Amino acid sequence: MHAPFVSQKLAAFSASSNDAPPRHLGTRYDLNGEFLREPGNTVVCHLAEGSRTQYAIIKARKQLLDMPEAHSHLAFTPISSLHMTVFQGIIEYRRTWPYWPKEMPGDTSIDEMTDFYLKKLQAFPQLPAFAMQITRVSPLGLTLKGATVEDDRAVAEWRNAFADAFSYRHPDHETYEFHITFAYIMRWFDPGCLPHWQRMLDECLEELRSAVPVLEMRPPAFCEFNDMKHFEELIVFDPV
């Protein structure tokens, strides 16, 4: 008899694949699913309010929430926080280059850093619009890529321009995987439950791609945050 199919990407969430606790546990959230203070700034696209995309993604999120292991293993962010990160700004616990600009002291307050970038981003260029599609659903949310090759190029142009403005590029700058986070992992999964998750995730992806082949999102916005529950838009960058 063949073992039930579990993809390599889903198997990565198995307790049998992990000896160490999840990376952000204890700094971003705790084992009760409560989000901790971790201030910073970032550039994101929020979902278009009241759109078909928002409805479909909220439905998909509920499918994950309804799984038996969801509440014990995953810390879910609020619906209002759903977004795609375009470019990662600075954050409290990463204060060295290439996650922090060389020209600013590493002990500069987060509020001062946000003010610093607010001034720099006043001169940010207008860039082409881009559209995104969903390529994968995982226990943590959605993986995205450009709807077309031209969209991939356009969103890369935005990322490169923000890298110039922020004065750093993360090591994964060229290979960054766009995503919409639903949750963070608190406890690794028992391998026995993963085939059920695989079936649900596959069905969820099929439904999403049928309902929203291209996502409706707001333009990129420079935001500040205190934790992963809310991202306050400070500057909105309307595309050409």
pLDDT beyond 90 at 3: no
pLDDT at residue 148 in the model: 99
> Which tens digits make up the pLDDT trace of 185-202?
999 999 999 999 999 999
149 pLDDT tier (thresholds 50, 70, 90): very high
Q: What is the mean pLDDT of residues 69-84?
A: 98
pLDDT category at 144 given cuts 50, 70, 90 is: very high
Q: How many whole angstroms from its chain centre is CA 46?
A: 11
- Is 57's pLDDT higher than 90? yes
pLDDT band at residue 1, thresholds of 50, 70 and 90?
very low
pLDDT tens-digit series, residues 116-126: 999 999 999 99
Q: Percent of the chain beyond pLDDT 90?
A: 98
> How far is residue 58's CA from residue 208's CA, in Å, rounded to a whole number?
11
- 165 pLDDT more than 60: yes
Domains and CATH numbers, the chain: 8-236 (3.90.1140.10)
Distance (Å, rounded) from C-alpha 134 to C-alpha 211? 11
Tokens encoding 152: 């991939």
Q: Which two tokens stand for residue 48?
A: 């278009």
Amino acid 208: pLDDT: 99
In this model, does residue 72 exceed pLDDT 70?
Answer: yes
Please give the model's pTM, rounded to 2 decimal places. 0.95
